[in-house]
Amino acid sequence: MYNINSKTRDLILTALMIAFVFIATMIIKIPTVGGYVHLGDCMVFLSVVVLGKKRGAFSSAIGMALVDITSGYYVWAPFTFVIKWGMAYIAGAILEKLDNGEEHKVIKKDEVIAFSIGGIFMVIAYFLAGTIIAAFLTGNVGLIQGLVLAAKDIGTNIVQVSVGIVLAMPLSLILIPIKKRIFN
């Protein structure tokens, strides 16, 4: 086994997680009216399981914003950066608060709570971002029209984050022991 400096290890793991978030989002993209549904939210949640709230939020925000930029959704990239950072940071902060250090052999309600609250933040934040973008792109659209236009994506965002949670739960059981071996 190589003896790697902890800062180097952290940098490598953060870069890998950025790549995993990016790839998971790019591999399966199902187009919707205002964008697309993807599997990247699973990796957002796993990033905080592996890296913690700060580096997990950073890697999620960078990975997801890069997807928007490379997919032509430039106007969404700054919103995505902030929203995915917030989603991951919230989930990570709750996980840290609820973590009692016991071994994970079954899916715990802590993860369900943390991921769900992070997901609720994401759905609300994308709704607000969609309202802003609708008003910006159309010029004369009022608040009510912007809200109506943004509401079209609420259902798909709920499905997307729910699938992300369902996939992240069993995968986190696999990653937590691996994380302990890497970081200890």
- Tens-digit pLDDT profile for residues 116-146: 999 999 999 999 999 888 887 777 667 777 7
Query: CB–CB of 60/25 below 8 Å?
Result: no
| Secondary-structure percent of the chain, ordered helix, strand, coil, rounded to 5 | 80, 5, 15
The CA distance from 64 to 81, in Å, is: 7
The mean per-residue pLDDT over the stretch 151-178 comes to 89
83: nearest Cα among 51, 49, 40: 40
Q: Where are the beta strands (DSSP E) in the chain?
A: 29-31, 36-38
pLDDT for 6: 83
The mean per-residue pLDDT over the stretch 67-95 comes to 96
- Tens-digit pLDDT profile for residues 11-43: 999 999 999 999 999 998 888 776 678 999 999
What residue ranges define each of the domains in the chain, with the CATH number in brackets? 6-183 (1.10.1760.20)
pLDDT for 145: 77
Q: What is the pTM of this model?
A: 0.89
